[in-house]
Chains A and B, each alone.
Chain A
Amino acid sequence: MSQNEAFFLDTNILIKWIYREILNENPAVEYFINSLSKGQCVILPINLREFETIIYDAYNITSHVIYEKILSKQGWDKLGVEDKLRVLEDIRKNFEQIYEQILTKYYNGQILPGGIRRILAKRFFIELEGKLIDSNLEALRNHIALNQRTDDLIDYISGIENTIRKNCTILNNINLLFNDDIIKENQLIYEGISKYISNLKSKRYNKTPSRNDQIIFVYLFLLLRGRIYDKIVFITDDNDFERMHNTVLNHLKDIINGNADLRGDFKEYAIEANDILRKLVIKGINDLITQQKR
């Protein structure tokens, strides 16, 4: 492997790695990441931020559940230990249902649905049960409903970020991102992405690449173009990126062949962009894991 070849982790891979046990994921994901050197394992801040936002959403709902089911009810602190346990068990057993109720009632359109947030929220709740029994009401209120929640979140997430930073490089190169010279190639990439999105829409797919995904794609392009890396393997868990990559490549081909750009104004740029994008490989994590076993 050449020195400037790196593996970039998509948000869904960060989740699989960090929450492997909770999600009952294949340990091979962790082995694979551990097998990479720190320089080879790269994470874009935008992925890290997306990952942290998922934790943030989940923790807020955990807090809301505790607030609604425990703190806003009278007399929690008057209950004996056994009664407290019974209440907690009740919440735990119906957690999924309570989660969905709260999400629909209070956070419609603000927090994305999705099993991962619910699974994390439940796990946070279960881990906090001991504290819910021990702590006095005042302290609990400060942590769950008032300003200490933010400190707790920052502490929790810094712990996770430390783990990530031990294994991987968080790459930040803003000069590359905001450079006016490369606007023409960028424009072609964005055209390709829009083509991909309108394609999906015409086929009535509801799931189109998020704004984050589009930025990530362009970011990877710029890293290759700026020769920060010679080759990038982007590891992900679904085929959104692969399809986006293919559509953009096809769009570039159309320009090179003159089908999409009759006067040939953009041909030169399309050739360059096409050469660059060939150095980007999109890989499903499962392919990598099986490859490693062989």
Chain B
Amino acid sequence: MTSNNLLGKINDEKSLTDPSFPLEEYYKVPNIEKMRDYLVKRYEENLLIIYESVLALILNPEDEDKLKTLSKEVEKIKENFELYNSILENNTTIGEYVNMTMDKLQKLIDGLKENEEEFYKEVLNSDNPNFLITTYYSLYLRFVTTVYLKLHKTNITNPNIKTKDSRIKDVFNITNFLVGFFGMPILIYIKKKEVFPYISELSGALLHALVADRTPIPSKDSLGYYLFSKIHVVKNESK
């Protein structure tokens, strides 16, 4: 974040934080346009592995075999993307790698949470209010939080071995890739005011995983539950 930016915000008497900051902390992106083109291409070629990894991370974070298969595929597609990753796998012990990842995730979640409402308000009050990007932000925040909570339970029996030799590195490897990948559309929007071309499909992937993870005890003031009972339940009972 440049000091200019910060001053601008202070003068506006709006939020004192820049919503792109937590994301930029996580991934360094020198050229946002290049990144966007790169992501579009990666997504088009690898959507299946991206979908499956999201699902596995949320539903089976302890399934080492599954994650190993996925991690191998993720490795193949992340080459250049890895350059942007400030979390280095090499030359660290698994304990260090896990701590770094968890620390970054925690900061990301706090930063996103802090800026959440402001982000929605800015998008909605802009010339081009877009409900896909606000929902995406909220889905992404939920996704990262869910992953963080699941990873928090990971038991590291031997924190001093090299990351590359560790059996649990896969889940963190996939996490770092997905958190970065899915975070980029938000960063692109903040920086360029552009909505990522596949925003709807990416949202669908996050939504699907979050739904699959959910124990269906809806709160009673939920409009979703209300809609469900009106459209799908009453119908059956009236028969």
- Residues on A lying within 8 angstroms of B by beta carbon are 18, 21-22, 45-46, 48-50, 52-53, 56-57, 60-61, 63-64, 67-68, 106-107, 109-112, 123-124, 127-128, 131, 139, 143, 145-163, 172, 174-175, 177-178, 211-212, 215
Q: How far is the CA of A156 from the CA of B222 in the complex (A)?
A: 9
From A152, A155, A159, A174, give the contact of B232 (CB < 8 A).
A159
| Surface stretch bound by A, among B15-23, B31-39, B102-110, B130-138 | B130-138
Contact B55 A123 (CB under 8 A): no
**Chain B at the A interface: mostly helix, strand, loop or mixed?**
helix
User: Chain A residues near B73 (CB, 8 Å)?
Assistant: 178
Instruction: From known contacts A131-B226, A145-B124, A149-B135, infer whether A49 and B208 are also in contact, taking CB-CB under 8 Å.
Output: yes
Closest to B214 in A: A158
Which residue of B70, B212, B216 contacts A159 across the interface (Cβ within 8 Å)?
B216
Given contacts A48-B208, A147-B138, 19 further A-B contacts (CB under 8 A): A22-B231, A49-B205, A53-B204, A67-B124, A110-B132, A112-B200, A128-B223, A149-B138, A150-B139, A151-B219, A151-B222, A158-B211, A159-B232, A160-B228, A161-B211, A172-B52, A172-B55, A174-B52, A211-B44
What's the minimum C-beta distance from A105 to chain B, rounded to whole angstroms? Answer: 9
Contact B69 A174 (CB under 8 A): yes
Q: Which one, B48, B72, B199, B221, contacts A46 given CB within 8 A?
A: B48
Q: Can you name the residue of chain A whose Cβ is closest to the Cβ of B56?
A: A174
Count of B interface residues, CB-CB < 8 Å: 59
Q: A56-B207, A110-B200, A150-B135 are known contacts. Are A127 and B130 too (CB-CB below 8 A)?
A: no
Taken together as a complex, chains A and B put the C-alpha atoms of A151 and B227 apart, in Å, by 12
A153 to B142, CA, bound (A): 13
- For the complex, give the distance between the alpha carbons of A124 and B223 in Å: 10
Are A67 and B129 in contact (CB-based, < 8 A)?
Answer: yes
